[in-house]
Amino acid sequence: MTISRIVLFSFALLLSFCLCSAVQVSYDERALTIDGERRIILSGSIHYPRSTPEMWPDLVQKSKDGGLNAIETYVFWNVHEPLYRQYNFEGNLDLVRFIKTIQSQGLYAILRIGPYVCAEWNYGGLPVWLHNIPDVKFRTNNKVFEDEMKTFVTMIVEMMKHENLFASQGGPIILAQIENEYGNIMWKFGSDGVDYMDWCAQLALSYDTGVPWIMCQQDNAPAPMISTCNGYYCDQYYPKRKGIPKMWTENWTGWFKNWGSQDPHRTARDVAFAVARFFQFGGTLQNYYMYHGGTNFGRTSGGPYITTSYDYDAPLDEYGNLNQPKWGHLQKLHFVLRSMEKVLTNGFQRTVDYGNMVSVTTYNYEGKEVCFLGNANQSSDATINFQNTMFTIPAWSVSILPDCYNEVYNTAKVNSQQSIMIKSPNEADDGEEPYQLQWNWRSEHFAHRKKDGTVDGSSLIANALLEQKSVTNDTSDYLWYITSVNISQNDPILTTEQITIQVSTSGHVLHAFINGKHIGTQFAQNGQYSFTFERKLNLTIGVNDIVLLSATVGLANYGPEYEDIPVGITGSVQLVGTKSNQKVIIDLSKNQWIYKVGLAGYEKQLYAQTPKSASYVWHDIGLPTSRMFVWYKSTFPAPLGTDPVVVDLMGLGKGEAWVNGQSLGRYWPKFEANEDGCSYSCDYRGAYGSNKCLTNCGKPTQRWYHIPRSFLKADNNEIVLFEEFGGNPWNVQFQTVTIGTACADAYEGNTLELSCQGGRVISDVKFVSFGLPQGSCGSFSVGRCESPKAYAYVMNICLGKVRCSIPVNELTLGPTGCKETNRLAIEAVC
């Protein structure tokens, strides 16, 4: 369970919030209106539990600098109410503090209460105890579910009202959401689904918050609920009901990652294209899902098998760094769009089709005109004559002309720095290389039956195999299934040639022990979460102990009735003796099974920095490697500087890691990403899909784990690892993430900003060419023509600087003699 520790409340923050006056939020067929003015809302998703309160101000500031005017978040019921009627709003679950952080920077907030959230979040954000209440049925016309949902949603709405956080009270919240993508699964519930949707709408309205409510992916949402679009592209989406604006609540900036899958990437050019198209065709509100993805700390990742990193290839990376050029390229787009707000939201809109997927849209308002030249053809650039000027529109791009004459932005032309991030060793190590941690260790206990047949700490005995979360309520990943079988001397199974145990499980990981001996481990792979475990074994005459340990790796979060997807040993457990064609089967499924939830080391809180664990013995010699079920502990100094910190867990198998008692999440470096499907180059053109532009094939799915700076003290930080599969901690290293190489590839007429991070300066400039340079960052080369003066100019103003700004034109960089539009390419080292 992820009850985060109490973090002292920053009162300074509370005092800094503005006493803003109430505004009237409404909408019409074109846009959301704030005090009667139609607005363009550019929003980004940041989920508060996926970072820390100490990171929030910086994340919000970078969102604002990136041109957003709103932040969106879900509300995560299962972490706020981990046990029935026991609430937690502390630390990174402090929703009020998060909303006030948004407010203190003058941004709007969009609150998607759900409470179903999907979001690759454990169990879609609904509490597992809710599923264990008799007669409950999720997300349909079911009294038990609706009563609990109402209790939670009411609490959240009241909490927001109490702090005056709705716009109608002077707060930042301009929109709220009830349910979530219900339209995708409603068919499953027939008329009950319709009743439930109406009930949701009535519930939302009953709160009288003074702000509009949305229901995303819900075409038939009852008025006045506003249906909105989610997807990679929403330009061809139009609301079914008249009088509501075209709004896009989830524009997927990238994609999430599973254990065993490669790293997905969505190019800055394609995201920008999708956004520009949306605004070309009448959109006025859009939200990036995600703008900062962050980290699934503790056991919060959904799935099964969602990784601990939820980077998402978002404009801010997992650690809060600018993901460049994505952040910068979108920033420029946001500024252009916002400069045209009045005309876009009020103007008369006219689109002319030029054929071949090329179209020109003009908005016209009070004598002002803005134009979008769009080319959705994925292979051929287009040159068109528009108002007696020739314009070239690259394939799969949109050009924006705020005066219908000058192109100020094209989605395929990136003029922002590209940063190549590096992980550098802990500088607090006094230069000793490699820094060797001193490890202590102790073994985790295997649960076992005592002589009298009982099991210490068991919670339940049943003559059946029980579904895992119905026993654990998901308070732990681990559940022991323990039984025994008495084999008499003349049992026919002893006459067979070979005996195996067959366990059919719904996943996700199974360890088996017979008579105290580990006989095997198996985990789900290739998306097949149910599997049959089969191993040879020897039985002894008399009582044989059978101990099975099942582990989950995130509960399902999506799909109709996802809540009923079973985990744990739900099939059968059999001993199968084989002799030629004959089989002797002893079915243990209806045996007496003793259940024990969790592991002893968790029970003792070996990861915590409390006296409770101090009294336990840790060994400092004979460090075991490649041994399953070992706890490791070490101390380390915090890396110097301000750059984000990660721990490299290469060499470890699977388990969980903690720093100073705070969980970094599950780790599993041994699980390698698929070998296939990666490409060296990534074409931004053509519709994106989550299997396009993959990297990291054949490498550990996730090797580095984020340690937020606020988890660290200057020295004597304690790291604890629980190693479930067996691994080697000798290569564990602490590193900082910063910009290693900064490249520029900018077109004439732009101003290029080049910068390092964390106080570093540009220490070297490896390549400069102004003209027609070829290649890309890391492999630039000189083209047909270039200016001989560019190199000296760039060296002069950039070398030794934290940041520098270069006007890209012949005046500063010298004449090139090229006939085409000049470009500037730079590769600098931070």
Ligand X SMILES: *[C@@H]1O[C@H](CO)[C@@H](O)[C@H](O)[C@H]1NC(C)=O
Q: What angle do CA 648, 654, 657 make, to 5 degrees?
A: 55
Q: Residue 505: which H helix or E strand, with range?
A: strand 498-505
Contact 594, 458 (CB under 8 A): yes
Q: Whole-angstrom Cα distance, residue 93 to residue 90?
A: 5
Closer CB to ligand X, 289 or 704, in the complex: 289
The residue annotated as part of the active site, out of 146, 163, 181, 748, is: 181
Closer CB to ligand X, 411 or 472, in the complex: 472
Token pair of 349 as six digits: 């809109």
Question: Which contacts qualify for 688-694: CB closer than 8 Å, 24 or more apart?
Answer: 688/232, 688/266, 688/267, 688/270, 689/232, 690/255, 690/264, 691/264, 692/264, 692/266, 693/264, 693/265, 693/266, 693/267, 694/262, 694/263, 694/264, 694/265
Query: Minimum Å distance from CB 130 to ligand X?
Result: 8
Closer CB to ligand X, 568 or 729, in the complex: 568
Binding residues for ligand X, rule: CB under 6 A, are 118-120, 129, 132-133, 180-181, 230, 250, 252, 256, 289, 356-357, 377, 379-380, 459, 472-473, 475, 486, 488, 536-538, 542-543, 597
Query: Minimum Å distance from CB 200 to ligand X?
Result: 14
Beta-sheet strands, E only, within 426-466: 440-443, 460-462
How many of the other CB atoms lie within 10 Å of CB of 627? 15
User: Can you tell me which residue has the tokens 């579910």?
Assistant: 145
How many of the other CB atoms lie within 10 Å of CB of 698? 11
Directed axis angle between helix 143-162 and helix 190-206, to 10°? Answer: 20
User: Can you tell me which residue has the tokens 């004959």?
Assistant: 582
Query: Minimum Å distance from CB 519 to ligand X?
Result: 6
Query: Minimum Å distance from CB 486 to ligand X?
Result: 4
Query: Minimum Å distance from CB 512 to ligand X?
Result: 11
Closer CB to ligand X, 395 or 732, in the complex: 395
Question: Across-strand partners of 709?
Answer: none
DSSP character at residue 774: B
Query: Minimum Å distance from CB 636 to ligand X?
Result: 34
How many of the other CB atoms lie within 10 Å of CB of 338? 15
Token pair of 185 as six digits: 């699964």
Closer CB to ligand X, 685 or 823, in the complex: 685
Q: Whole-angstrom Cα distance, residue 410 to residue 395?
A: 11
Instruction: Give the pairing type, strands 542-551 and 509-514.
Output: antiparallel
Read off φ and ψ for residue 724, nearest 5 degrees.
-90, -35
Query: Minimum Å distance from CB 536 to ligand X?
Result: 5
Q: Which residues of 171-204 are buried (b: 16+ CB within 10 A; e: fewer)?
A: bbbbbbbbbbbbbbbbeebeeebeebbebbbebb
Question: Which contacts qualify for 561-564: CB closer than 8 Å, 24 or more apart?
Answer: 561/138, 561/188, 562/124, 563/123, 563/124, 563/126, 563/131, 563/138
Contact 395, 401 (CB under 8 A): no
- Report which residue's Cβ sits closest to ligand X: 118
Question: Across-strand partners of 360?
Answer: 352, 373
Q: What angle do CA 282, 287, 292 make, to 5 degrees?
A: 155
Closer CB to ligand X, 250 or 444, in the complex: 250
Q: Identify the CA nearest to 686 among candidates 478, 331, 428, 377.
A: 377
Closer CB to ligand X, 499 or 646, in the complex: 499
Query: Minimum Å distance from CB 297 to ligand X?
Result: 17
Query: Minimum Å distance from CB 206 to ligand X?
Result: 23
Contact 694, 262 (CB under 8 A): yes
Closer CB to ligand X, 310 or 791, in the complex: 310
Closer CB to ligand X, 167 or 599, in the complex: 599
Q: Identify the CA nearest to 118 among candidates 225, 23, 284, 230.
A: 230
Closer CB to ligand X, 132 or 572, in the complex: 132
Quick one: 132 exposed, middle or buried, by C-beta within 10 A (0-12, 13-18, 19+)? middle
Q: Whole-angstrom Cα distance, residue 254 to residue 271?
A: 9
Closer CB to ligand X, 459 or 502, in the complex: 459
Known active-site residue 810: no
Token pair of 527 as six digits: 């998306």
Query: Minimum Å distance from CB 598 to ligand X?
Result: 9
Q: Whole-angstrom Cα distance, residue 630 to residue 658?
A: 14
Q: Whole-angstrom Cα distance, residue 231 to residue 204?
A: 25
Closer CB to ligand X, 121 or 636, in the complex: 121
The residue annotated as part of the active site, out of 146, 179, 250, 748, is: 250
Known active-site residue 250: yes
Contact 348, 371 (CB under 8 A): no
Query: Minimum Å distance from CB 128 to ligand X?
Result: 8
Query: Minimum Å distance from CB 56 to ligand X?
Result: 20
Q: Whole-angstrom Cα distance, residue 510 to residue 253?
A: 35
Q: Does residue 162 have a cis peptide bond before it, meaning omega lies within 30 degrees of 0?
A: no
Closer CB to ligand X, 350 or 536, in the complex: 536
Among all residues, which ones are annotated catalytic? 181, 250
